[in-house]
Amino acid sequence: MNVVLVNPSFNRYGGISGHGGSMIPLNLCYLAAYSREKHPETDFKILDAEVKGLTHDDTVEEISAFHPDLIGITTNTCVFDSVIALINLLKVSLSDVPVVIGGPHPSALPESSLCDSKADFAVIGEGEMVFEELVAEMIREGNDWSKINGLAYRGGNGNVHVNSPGTLIKDLDILPFPARDLVDSSLYSPAPTKRVSLGAYTLIATSRGCPYNCGFCGAQTVWTNKIRTRKPEFVVKEIEMCVSKYGIQSFSFTDEFFTGNKKRVLEICRLICKRRLDISWVCSARAQRLDQETLVEMKEAGCHEISFGIESGSPEILKRIDKALDLDEAQRVIRLTKNVGIISHASYIIGYIGETEETIKKTIRFAEKLNTHIAAFFIASPLPGTPLYHEAQRKGFLRGEATWIDYSPLSNSETVLRLPNLSTTVIRKWHRKALRSYYFRPRYILLRLMTIRHWYEIVNLFEGLKVFLKIKK
Which amino acid appears at position 306 of this protein?
Answer: I
pTM, two decimal places = 0.92
pLDDT of residue 453: 65
Residues 6 or more apart whose Cβ sits within 8 Å of residue 247? 185, 199, 200
**CATH superfamily of this structure's domain 189-470:** tm_1862 like domain (3.80.30.20)
pLDDT of residue 86: 97
Indicate the domain borders of the chain: 2-162, 189-470
pLDDT of residue 19: 44
d(CA 405, CA 31): 25
pLDDT of residue 394: 96
pLDDT of residue 143: 87
Collapsing DSSP to helix, strand or coil, 248 comes out as strand
With a cut of 70, list the residues of the chain below it in pLDDT: 12-21, 193, 195-197, 410-412, 452-473
Q: Report CA 90 to chain centroid distance, whole Å.
A: 26
d(CA 223, CA 207): 10
φ/ψ of 390, rounded to 5, equals -65, -40
pLDDT of residue 195: 65
pLDDT of residue 446: 81
CB 57 within 8 A of CB 92: no
pLDDT of residue 465: 58
CB 42 within 8 A of CB 3: yes
Got the DSSP string for 283-349? EEE-SSS--HHHHHHHHHTTEEEEEEEEE-S-HHHHHHHT----HHHHHHHHHHHHHHTPEEEEEEE
pLDDT of residue 457: 65
pLDDT of residue 442: 87
Q: H or E element: which one contains 103?
A: none
pLDDT of residue 12: 65
Check if 2-162 and 189-470 are the same fold: no
Measure the N-to-C terminal CA separation of the chain; round to a whole number of Å.
50
Q: Quick one: which of 193, 257, 205 has its CA closest to 235?
A: 205
pLDDT of residue 419: 93
State the fold for domain 2-162: Rossmann fold (3.40.50)
pLDDT of residue 21: 55
pLDDT of residue 221: 84
Cβ burial 364-384 (10 Å sphere, 16+ → b, else e): bebbbebbbbbbbbbbbbbbb
pLDDT of residue 134: 98
pLDDT of residue 330: 97
